């Protein structure tokens, strides 16, 4: 019988499971800010062999973010026992029926089947990994966020804070541009075809519905990969291909954005 989350919750309760061997500690600030967009991180666990020095960067941030470290010894050289421990815990948490979704933080394709299994039970799966993450794991998630974006945002955020000045030393400077990854080319043809496929008779589609359909086909799609903060900014930035229409009343708070492909000649 399928395990269904409780529909009476105002926010999704999420279990955050981090593979310390395949995720950098530098993402920590951006990671939980991103997770907060999708729900509440009710459980936060991180898996690895904490007896060695290789996870030292993670040890420094665990207490600050109330993340529970799970010790997993490497029983055999060259074999990763961390994956198995994370998967076993995920299934145990699944059958408590207390969660609406899981956040799997890793660039390891070994979690592909886990993501698919969790979705089979009707739960949402949010993946977090580097751009090198194999595609099977990416598409197995409902939404996949590349951690390069989170690291860049964290660096930009920290650069906004005033830096301490030591007497006799010039203040250090770090250009904001260096913190941002190079924007990718916007897939306008893909978006245009999707609008044609799912729009109404007049060619219009509500922007939120467009975003949902994009995520279904490309879980890793993120406006920030293309240099835009939100999907609305991305669409507006392609005004030669798309046109925007505002419907509803801003006074009542019922304002919605609609988009359609711009007709040739306009």
CATH number where 232 lies: 3.30.420.610
Same domain, 69 and 194: no
The answer to whether position 21 is within a domain reads yes
Residues 191 and 240 sit within 8 Å (Cβ to Cβ): no
pLDDT classification of 4: cutoffs 50, 70, 90: low
Same domain, 70 and 141: yes
Name the 3-class secondary structure at 149. helix
Cα 14 to Cα 17: distance, rounded to the nearest angstrom:
10
The domain boundary, picked from 155, 175, 208, lies at 155
Residue 6 predicted with pLDDT over 70: no
- Note the pTM of the prediction, 2 decimals: 0.80
The answer to whether position 180 is within a domain reads no
Return the structure tokens found at 132: 């090198």
Cα 98 to Cα 160: distance, rounded to the nearest angstrom:
39
Residue-averaged pLDDT of the chain: 86
Quick one: pLDDT at residue 158? 52
Total count of domains within the chain: 2
The answer to whether position 181 is within a domain reads no
Same domain, 192 and 141: no
State the maximum Cα–Cα separation within the chain, in Å, rounded to a whole number: 69
- Which conformational region is residue 98 in: left (phi greater than 0), alpha (psi within -120 to 50 degrees), or beta? alpha
- The domain in which residue 63 lies consists of 13-155
Quick one: pLDDT at residue 151? 82
Same domain, 20 and 149: yes
Residues 185 and 226 sit within 8 Å (Cβ to Cβ): yes
Quick one: pLDDT at residue 82? 83
Quick one: pLDDT at residue 175? 41
Same domain, 68 and 118: yes
More confident residue, 204 or 254: 204
Same domain, 97 and 36: yes
Quick one: pLDDT at residue 163? 52
Same domain, 36 and 116: yes
Same domain, 145 and 222: no
Same domain, 140 and 220: no
Tens digits of residue pLDDT in 33-60: 999 999 999 999 999 988 888 889 999 8
The answer to whether position 124 is within a domain reads yes
The domain boundary, picked from 155, 174, 205, lies at 155
Residue 7 predicted with pLDDT over 50: no
- Looking at residue 36, which CATH number applies to its domain? 3.40.50.1010
């Amino acid at each position: 019988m399928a395990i269904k989350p409780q529909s009476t919750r105002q926010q999704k309760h999420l279990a955050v499971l981090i593979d310390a061997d395949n995720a950098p500690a530098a993402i920590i600030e951006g990671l939980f800010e991103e997770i907060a967009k999708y729900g509440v991180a009710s459980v936060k666990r991180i898996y690895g062999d904490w007896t060695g020095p290789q996870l030292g960067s993670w040890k420094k941030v665990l207490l600050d973010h109330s993340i529970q470290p799970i010790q997993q010894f490497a029983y055999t050289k060259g074999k990763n026992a961390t994956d198995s421990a994370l998967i076993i815990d995920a299934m145990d948490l699944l059958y408590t029926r207390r969660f609406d979704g899981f956040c799997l933080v890793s660039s390891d394709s070994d979690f592909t089947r886990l993501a698919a299994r969790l979705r089979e039970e009707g739960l949402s799966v949010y993946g977090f990994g580097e751009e090198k993450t194999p595609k099977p794991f990416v598409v197995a998630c409902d939404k996949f966020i590349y951690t390069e974006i989170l690291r860049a945002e964290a660096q930009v955020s920290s650069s906004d804070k005033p830096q301490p000045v030591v007497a006799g030393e010039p203040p250090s400077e770090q250009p904001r541009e260096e913190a941002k990854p190079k924007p990718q080319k916007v897939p306008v043809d893909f978006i245009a075809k999707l609008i044609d496929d799912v729009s109404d008779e007049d060619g219009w589609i509500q922007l939120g519905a467009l975003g949902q359909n994009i995520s279904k086909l490309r879980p890793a799609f993120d406006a920030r990969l293309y240099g835009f903060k939100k999907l609305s900014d991305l669409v507006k930035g392609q005004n030669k291909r798309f046109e925007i229409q505002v419907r509803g009343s801003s006074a009542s708070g019922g304002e919605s954005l609609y988009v359609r492909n711009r007709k040739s000649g306009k």
